[in-house]
Chain A
């Protein structure tokens, strides 16, 4: 079992979701985050003062998958999110120790679904 964390551009949210569903990955958690990487920040101006703002709006997916779904999920995310420009995001694959379904109490790969 793995937890896949993907940071993507916010405007790619719909594309990534659709690509995931096509790859039979229908369970995920999405949150709104800010972050930076290689993508340059922007300069914010407010009432005469300027700030170099480097944290940009992004969207974070957290998807728990069984091992056989890791590659399809990654491929789907990349298909949905890639624009070829800096700032497309990153995907982290983190080992998942346990997964419990709240409703039934099932654990393990069955619970991941």
Chain B
């Protein structure tokens, strides 16, 4: 009897879902037709040979719809790669921290994308890309609901998000692509504040970062704001994403203080060793892989393929050179090559090439990577000398190299190398104009982000507390914040 009833229920469910799918398919087909920007004859009509001549108009219509389709696929596919970088961050951060805090770090990295998704949808997208003033977006602020006739491009575009009218994909594709970038900025912060921050304090800060801070500075550079008008270029976000995350992280770390036992009374550094280099390596490679979405995807269009191919190679070359130089430097300084420095080197190179990837030659990318790898090693040593405790090197990778990458545009840019008229950088005869605009951007974003982040962290500290108690920090945040251990029973990790 029970079995009979469950079969009936299953059949009802199947019937219901089949009809829902059929209705949905009908409605989407009906919606798809008006989405084309040109007044186009439907593609299937051209198949009837005698009924319609193959005119330029019909060819253009076909090309147009195919272009939108392939560009949308590109934007979404690269956005999925950037989404996947959240795994990379989770693995790098938890691998470089102690076993007793693993659940907490993984939880922070997992939930931060959810926070980013929601707050970017609620207000972030509108503040960043809505039409407004040079400082912030004002139109279409909430729930990405502004008028929009994407994929119409250029002058044909009519809507609230004119800053993105140069890409011919549907609005939600633009939205999703920008969302995953916002999520990346938020997850950068979680590494620097790891092992001592309260879970809810981090959550609250992330809402503000992605909902308000990131979109405002993003608006200045990508949303039609004043830095963009000044001629500052940041192709995929060395400043917009990485140094914004870096400045927020720095503010957090300064207000949090260093981990218990990290700096000894005599000023020397007590190495707090990460518990799983396997996870760090996994994370590093996932991030490198994801960067092939981060950089080439920022074209938000396939074009003739030459730009995205160029960017993929500049991206990879910078990473490779940075790995070599960071390995060499750490080998010299530490007497043996340190895997965590090798991986930090890769990430540094990738962050540094993020702004210039579409504006420089492959050779320049190699030089940029080389410098980035050197910078990251010395930055890690410098922050420890300054007693600024960064468990995973987030500041050295994202803040320092985010700044360097942005300035590198001003040094190495070659006008129109993949199509964008950036003007030439200092080393290619363009003088100081571009470099000055880049520097202005670095300073403006730095000052704004750092000060606002300090204020937000400070308010959080006053209202709900920032740092866990010393007992909890020693017992491990897994127990204190989550009530579960990542490695229960005898799994071989000392919980020192």
Chain A residues with CB under 8 Å of chain B are: 10-11, 13-14, 32, 34, 42-46, 57, 59
Tell me the complex Cα distance, A2–B495, Å: 29
Shortest distance between the CB of B481 and any CB in chain A (Å): 11
Chain B contacts with A in 316-372, Cβ cutoff 8 A: none
Contact-residue size bin, chain B (C-beta under 8 Å from the other chain): 10 to 19
B contacts, CB < 8 Å to A = 261, 270, 474-475, 479, 483-485, 488-490, 492, 494-496
CB distance from A78 to the nearest CB of B (A): 19
Q: Are B484 and A44 in contact (CB under 8 A)?
A: yes
Total CB contacts across the A-B interface at under 8 A: 31
Contacts of B483 in A (CB 8 A): 43-46
How far does the alpha carbon of A68 sit from the alpha carbon of B475 in the complex, in Å? 36
Pairwise interchain contact A10-B496, C-beta atoms closer than 8 A: yes
A14-B496 contact, Cβ under 8 Å, with A34-B490, A44-B484, A44-B485: yes
Complex: chain B residue closest to A59, CB-CB: B494
Query: Within 8 Å CB of A44, what residues of B?
Result: 479, 483-485, 488
Give 8 CB contacts A-B under 8 Å: A11-B261, A11-B496, A32-B490, A32-B494, A42-B479, A44-B484, A44-B485, A59-B496
* Distance in angstroms between the alpha carbons of A42 and B485 in the assembled complex: 11
- Which of A11, A13, A42, A43 has the most chain B CB within a 10 Å cutoff? A11
Which of A10, A14, A46, A59 touches B484 (beta carbons < 8 Å)? A46
Residues of A near B490 (CB, < 8 A) are 32, 34
Cα distance, A11 to B472, chains bound together (Å): 12
Distance in angstroms from B274 CB to nearest chain A CB is 17
The interface residues of chain B lying within 8 Å CB-to-CB of A10 are 494-496
| A32 contact set on B, CB distance < 8 A | 490, 492, 494-495
Tell me the minimal C-beta distance from B85 to chain A in angstroms: 28
List, in ascending order, chain B residues with CB within 8 A of A13's CB.
494, 496
| CB proximity of A32 to chain B, nearest CB, Å | 5
Residues from chain B with a CB closer than 8 A to the CB of A46 are 483-484
Min CB distance B74 to A, Å, is 40
Residues on the B chain within 8 Å of A11, using CB? 261, 474, 496
Distance in angstroms between the alpha carbons of A30 and B491 in the assembled complex = 16
CB distance from A17 to the nearest CB of B (A): 11
Contacts of A14 in B (CB 8 A): 270, 496
How distant is the Cα of A44 from the Cα of B489 in the complex, in angstroms? 12
Other A-B contacts than A10-B494, A14-B270, A46-B484, 11 sampled, CB-CB below 8 A, are A13-B494, A32-B490, A32-B495, A42-B475, A42-B479, A43-B483, A44-B479, A44-B484, A44-B485, A45-B484, A46-B483
Q: Which residue of A lies closest to B261 (CB)?
A: A11
Chain B residue at minimal CB-CB distance from A31? B494
Distance A13 CA – B272 CA, assembled complex (angstroms): 13
Known A11-B474, A42-B479: A57·B484 in contact at CB below 8 Å: no
> Given that A11-B474, A34-B490, A46-B484 are known contacts, is A57 also in contact with B479, CB under 8 Å in the complex?
no
Q: How far is the CB of A108 from chain B (nearest CB, A)?
A: 33
A15 vs chain B, min Cβ distance (A): 10
Chain A contacts for B488, CB-based, 8 A: 44
- Give, as a whole number of angstroms, the nearest-CB distance from B203 to chain A: 19
Q: Which residues of A contact B484 (CB under 8 A)?
A: 44-46
- Which residues of chain A are within 8 angstroms of B492 by Cβ–Cβ distance? 32
CB distance from B472 to the nearest CB of A (A): 11
How many whole Å from A40's CB to the nearest CB in chain B? 12
Q: How far is the CA of A57 from the CA of B492 in the complex (A)?
A: 11
The residue in chain B whose Cβ has the minimal distance to the Cβ of A33 is B490
Shortest CB distance A31–B (Å): 10
A109 to B485, CA, bound (A): 43
- Nearest Cβ in chain A — how far from B488, in angstroms? 8
Chain A residue contacts of B270, Cβ below 8 A: 14
Q: How far is the CB of B406 from chain A (nearest CB, A)?
A: 41
- Quote the shortest CB–CB distance from B275 to chain A (angstroms): 13
